[in-house]
Amino acid sequence: SRRRKEELRRWTVYGLTIALLVVVLVSADWAKLSETFFDPEIFADLFPEILTIAAKNTIILALLAFSGGMMLGLVLALMRLSSIGPYRWASLAYIELFRGIPALLTLILIGFVLPIALGVRIKELLPFLGNYGTPAVALSVVAGAFLAETIRGGIEAVPKGQMEAARSLGMSRSQSMRSIVVPQAFRVMIPPLTNEFVLLIKDTSLVFV
C-alpha cells in the first residue's frame, strides 16, 4: 500500500543516516580532535578572558553596529520611498553595493583604505567610542544596507489608509510617517530585525582580521 511504501522509505532513510553516522564516528581520529579542539588545559587558560573580554566586546560591537545600522537603514529606507528620483537611485546604489560585497571587505575599506587614501580615521572622528569606533562603523555600514530593505518592507506593509487618515487630520507627510506609519511598521519588523541582530553578532568575529 501507499502508506506501507512511505514507512519503508522513511525507515530506509533512517537506516542510511545511522550507517553514515557510524562510519564517521569510527573513522574519525578522536585523539587528534581532542588534542586540537577539546584540550581542557587550553580551555581553562582562556575561560576568564572569554567572558570578561571576548563576550563583552562581542556584545558592545553588536549593539553599536545595530544602533548605527538602524539609523542608517531608516534614512535609506525613506530615501527608497521618496518621490525624488536621485534619492531613490542613491539609496538603491548604496544598498545593492554593500549587500553585494563581503562584510570583511567593508571592514578592510573602513579600517585601512580610508586612513591611507583619504586620511579619514574613525577613531579621531568618534573618540568617545574608543577602539570600538572603527569596527562599529564598518559593521553599521553593512547592517544599514540590509536593515534598509527590512524597514522599507515594514513601512510598505502598513495599510495606505493609515497615511490617508493621518493626512485627512491635517498632518504633513513627514509628520504622518514619523508618528503613524513608522511606529506601526516597527511592530511588523521585529522578527527580521532580530535575525539581523543575530547575524551582526556573528559578523563581529570578522573584526579579528
- What is the per-residue pLDDT across 8-35, written as a single tens digit (0 to 9) for each? 999 999 999 999 999 988 888 888 888 7
For residue 54, pLDDT over 80 is answered with yes
Q: To 10 degrees, the CA torsion angle through 170, 174, 175, 177?
A: 110
The pLDDT score that the predictor gives to residue 72 is: 93
Give me the mean pLDDT over the 58-70 stretch: 93
Which triple of cell numbers denotes residue 61?
560591537
| Cα(209)–Cα(196) distance, integer angstroms | 21
Q: What is the pLDDT of residue 176?
A: 86
Question: Is 49's pLDDT higher than 80?
Answer: no
Give the start-end residues of each E strand in 77-172. Answer: none
CA 177 to chain centre: 25
Indicate if the pLDDT at residue 55 is higher than 80. Answer: yes
When pLDDT is averaged across residues 40-44 and rounded to a whole number, the result is 78
- When pLDDT is averaged across residues 109-135 and rounded to a whole number, the result is 87
pLDDT per residue over 141-153, tens digit each? 999 999 999 988 8
Mean pLDDT of the chain: 88
What is the model's pLDDT at position 12? 93
Look up residue 126 and give its DSSP letter. S
Q: Express the helix, strand and coil content of the chain in percent, nearest 5 each.
A: 90, 0, 10
Task: Quote the DSSP letter at residue 34.
Answer: H
